[in-house]
């Protein structure tokens, strides 16, 4: 059973697991997916890519940012059966650019970004969720991305 204690203005409640088993009746306000103030995920409500998404880390803003944007945009809007198969040139440009900055884009990442093109990611607002991407992103992103991409 939960146990309550008051110390001045501070209230302390101790709860067991059983106490918290029943679902909460606290009411949360429904989120408006189109709220312009809210942090956006990778894909904006209008379908565009949010280049400022923390999940992308520094990919869109670094020295190879424009190549990355081209490649990823092409991939995103690609209507081919094998998604992104028409974007090979862009990805090659991006890879060439990245090879010039090995300490920014460690070489093993190229293989992973490549594998990403072969995988069809979700079109909704979750970030590219393949495990390899988290490696890609955590290298350049981490300390400035303390918010979860929602």
Partner 1 sequence: MLKCRAVWRKLAPLARSASTQCRHNVKTALNNGRRQAFVPATHMSTGPAGGGGSENTLYVVLVGAACLGGGAYAYMTVRGDSKRYEERISELASRSAKEAPESQPPVAPEPEEAAPTSEESAPVAELSGETESASEPVAEVPPEAVEEAPPVVEEAPPEPQAEVLEALPAVVESAAEEPVTEAPPAAEPETVQEAPTEPAVTSLPESAPAPEPVSAPLTLPSHAPYLLIGGGTASFAAARSIRARDPGAKVLIVTDEPNLPYMRPPLSKELWFSDDPSVTETLRFKQWNGKERSIYFQPSSFYVKPEELTSAENGGVAVLTGKKVIQMDVRGNKVKLDDDTEISYDKCLIGTGGVPRNLQVIEKAGDEVMNRTTLFRKIEDFKSLDNVSRNVKSITIIGGGFLGSELACALGRRSSETGLEVIQMFPEKGNMGKVLPEYLSNWTTEKVKKEGVRIVPEALVKSVAFKEDKLEILLKDGRQVKTDHIVAAVGLEPNVDLAKSAGLEVDSDFGGYRVNAELQARSNIWVAGDAACFYDIRLGRRRVEHHDHAVVSGRLAGENMTGANKPYWHQSMFWSDLGPDVGYEAIGIVDSSLPTVGVFAKATSKDTPKAATEQSGTGIRSESETEATAVTPVASSTPAPVMEHKDEYGKGVIFYLRDKVVVGIILWNVFNRMPIARKIIKDGEEHADLNEVAKLFNIHED
Q: Residues in the site for partner 1, rule: CB under 8 A?
A: 2, 7-17, 19-20, 22-29, 31, 36-39, 51-52, 54-56, 58, 60-63, 65-66, 69, 101, 103-104, 126-129, 131, 133-134, 137-150
Contact assessment for residue 60 and residue 51, using Cβ atoms and an 8 Å cutoff: yes
**Beta carbon of residue 146, minimum distance to partner 1 (angstroms, whole number):** 4
Stated as kind and residue range, the H or E segment containing 13 is strand 10-14
Judged by beta carbon, residue 34 or residue 37, the one nearer partner 1 is: 37
Residue 36 CB, shortest distance to partner 1, in Å, is 7
Between residues 48 and 80, which has the closer beta carbon with respect to partner 1?
Answer: 48
Least Cβ distance, residue 81 to partner 1 (angstroms): 27
Nearer to partner 1, 57 or 84 (CB): 57
Which residue carries 């998604």 as its tokens? 83
CB of 99 to partner 1, least distance (A): 12
DSSP 8-state code for residue 5 = E
Q: For residues 80 and 102, which CB has a smaller minimum distance to partner 1 in the complex?
A: 102
* Secondary structure class of 40 (helix, strand, coil): coil
Q: Which CA distances in Å does 84 have to 16, 66, 118?
A: 52, 17, 8
The Cα–Cα gap between 53 and 40 comes to 7
Task: List the helix and strand counts (H, then E) for the chain.
Answer: 4, 2
């Amino acid at each position: 059973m939960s146990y309550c204690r008051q110390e001045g203005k501070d209230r302390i409640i101790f709860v067991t697991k059983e106490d918290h088993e029943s679902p909460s009746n606290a009411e949360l306000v429904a989120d408006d997916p189109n709220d312009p103030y809210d942090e956006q995920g990778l894909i904006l409500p209008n379908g565009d890519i949010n280049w400022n998404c923390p999940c992308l880390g520094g990919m869109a803003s670094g020295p190879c940012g424009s190549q990355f944007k081209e490649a990823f945009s092409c991939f995103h809007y690609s209507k081919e059966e094998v998604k992104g198969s028409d974007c090979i040139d862009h990805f090659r440009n991006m890879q060439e650019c990245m090879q010039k900055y090995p300490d920014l884009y460690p070489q093993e990442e190229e293989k992973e970004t490549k594998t990403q093109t072969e995988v069809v990611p979700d079109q909704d607002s979750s970030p590219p969720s393949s495990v390899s991407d988290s490696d890609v992103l955590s290298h350049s992103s981490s300390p400035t991305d303390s918010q979860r991409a929602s």
